[in-house]
């Protein structure tokens, strides 16, 4: 992201389906060479946003420019300059790997003369040589994903949309996939990716949190984590159930998560988490063994944000029920 050249710019982008507002007032700027992650629960409006940016869904409000073109009026121009890959991988299961690649090369207008060479290059780069004649439907998740990303990048698009590209893919394949994503970004490709995997979120240059169609926060992973103002400690208490019950009852504790014998306790940064835990455990006669402070992860920040959102919604409902 050296030159800060904007590739996606949206102003108040919105979309409703009937009464349902799927995306509300999203304003974003994404720069060339960025890996931009979009996080949010299922149904938060991530896919709807991507579809509007690709020009296959008309916004009902606001505006957006993608690779210099308007999403509402110049959609077809956008389509030649983007690559698009969904979690379903969108391969033709009854075509072979090579046929799929040739099809997409033709579809994206790779010139006839160079098509064969380009497909060959993609096959080699993705290590698909042994599987070129295998039907795509018989490939495992990781291999399907490789073919899908190879298809989506055959025409060397400057902008790549990846909608949950690693869903159902094994960890090694995921890691290789992200290495590839970083290579593409280094070469200047801009990448917008949605994911539910928090380790993947940490690998993005910048992140956006979307809840209920609203953009809640945008920034680098470190910025987003810092803004939540959280601190985290881990401990291995002797009586875990008692410890958890007591900690949950304390209003200063934001969240508790289990990792084997370890309890991970998130506390608002105004409090000293070590002191809180020692105090609460002491009150129950539980020994907080191996108590240590831990780095706050994107996952901690994400979950804390979802919980706050849930609490707000609950409060709003309660207020609505008893006016």
Partner 1 sequence: MSGRALVIAWKELIQLRRDRLTLAMVAALPVMQLLLFGYAINTDVRHIPMVVYDQDASAESRDLARSLEATGFYDIVGNVQSYTEIERVVRAGRARTAIVIPTRYASDLRLGRPTKVQLIVDGSDPQTVASATDAASGLVAARASELALVRFHAQGPATGSNLLSLEPETWYNPELRTAVFVVPGLIGVILTMTMIMMTAMAIARERERGTLEQLVVSPIGRVELMLGKILPYVGIGYLQMTLVLLIGSFVFRTPLAGSPLLLYVLALLFIAANLALGLVFSTLAKTQQQAMQMSFFFLLPNILLSGFMFPFDAMPRFAQILAQGLPLTHFLRIVRGIALRGAGFSDLGNELVWLAGILIALVAIAAVRFQKKVA
Q: Which residues bind partner 1 (CB under 8 A)?
A: 51, 54-58, 75-76, 79-80, 82, 84, 86, 88, 90-95, 99, 103-104, 106-109, 112
Name the residue nearer to partner 1 (CB basis): 14 or 266. Answer: 14
Name the residue nearer to partner 1 (CB basis): 82 or 126. Answer: 82
Please, where are the H alpha helices in the chain? 46-54, 75-79, 97-107, 112-125, 141-153, 171-186, 198-201, 221-228, 240-249, 273-284, 298-321
Name the residue nearer to partner 1 (CB basis): 161 or 302. Answer: 161
Name the residue nearer to partner 1 (CB basis): 154 or 247. Answer: 154
Kindly state the smallest distance separating residue 80's Cβ from partner 1, in Å.
4
Name the residue nearer to partner 1 (CB basis): 83 or 288. Answer: 83
List all residues 6 or more positions away from 85 whose beta carbon is below 8 Å from its beta carbon. 148, 149, 151, 152, 160, 161, 162, 163, 165
User: In degrees, to the nearest 5, what angle opens at C-alpha 200 toward C-alphas 12 and 198?
Assistant: 80
Kindly state the smallest distance separating residue 251's Cβ from partner 1, in Å.
45
Contact present, 205 and 35 (Cβ < 8 Å): yes
Interior/surface letters 94-104, b for 16+ CB within 10 angstroms, e for the rest: eebbbbbbbbb
Name the residue nearer to partner 1 (CB basis): 104 or 211. Answer: 104
Sheet containing 82-86: order of strands: 69-70, 61-66, 6-17, 20-31, 214-219, 206-211, 35-39, 190-194, 159-163, 82-86
Kindly state the smallest distance separating residue 153's Cβ from partner 1, in Å.
13
Name the residue nearer to partner 1 (CB basis): 108 or 211. Answer: 108
Kindly state the smallest distance separating residue 106's Cβ from partner 1, in Å.
3
Kindly state the smallest distance separating residue 187's Cβ from partner 1, in Å.
22
Kindly state the smallest distance separating residue 270's Cβ from partner 1, in Å.
46
What would the DSSP string read from start to end of 5-30?
Answer: -EEEEEEEEEEEETTEEEEEEEEEEE
Kindly state the smallest distance separating residue 192's Cβ from partner 1, in Å.
13
């Amino acid at each position: 992201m050296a030159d800060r050249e904007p590739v996606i710019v949206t102003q108040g982008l919105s979309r409703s389906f009937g009464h349902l507002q799927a995306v509300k007032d999203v304003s974003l700027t994404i720069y060339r060479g960025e890996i931009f992650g979009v996080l949010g629960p299922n149904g938060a409006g991530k896919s709807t946003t991507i579809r509007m940016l690709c020009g296959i869904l008309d916004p009902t409000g606001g505006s957006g420019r993608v690779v210099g073109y308007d999403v509402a009026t110049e959609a077809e121009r956008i389509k030649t300059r983007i690559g698009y890959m969904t979690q379903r991988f969108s391969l033709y299961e009854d075509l072979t790997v090579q046929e799929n690649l040739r099809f997409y090369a033709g579809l994206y207008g790779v010139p006839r003369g160079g098509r064969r060479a380009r497909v060959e290059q993609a096959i080699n780069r993705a290590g698909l040589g042994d599987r070129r004649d295998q039907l795509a439907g018989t490939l495992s998740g990781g291999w399907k994903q490789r073919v899908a990303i190879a298809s989506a990048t055959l025409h060397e698009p400057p902008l790549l949309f990846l909608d949950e590209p690693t869903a159902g893919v094994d960890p090694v394949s995921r890691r290789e996939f992200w290495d590839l994503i970083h290579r593409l970004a280094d070469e200047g490709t801009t990448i917008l990716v949605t994911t539910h995997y928090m380790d993947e979120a940490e690998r993005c240059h910048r992140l956006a949190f979307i809840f209920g169609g609203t953009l809640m926060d945008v920034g680098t992973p470190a910025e987003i984590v810092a803004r939540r103002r959280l601190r985290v400690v881990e401990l291995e208490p002797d009586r875990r159930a008692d410890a958890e019950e007591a900690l949950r009852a304390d209003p200063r504790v934001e969240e508790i998560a289990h990792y084997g014998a370890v309890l991970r306790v998130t506390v608002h940064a105004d409090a000293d988490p070590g002191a809180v835990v020692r105090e609460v455990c002491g009150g129950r006669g539980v020994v907080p063994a191996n108590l240590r402070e831990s780095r706050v992860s994107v996952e901690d920040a994400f979950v804390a944000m979802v919980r706050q959102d849930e609490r707000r919604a609950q409060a709003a409902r309660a207020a609505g029920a008893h006016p």
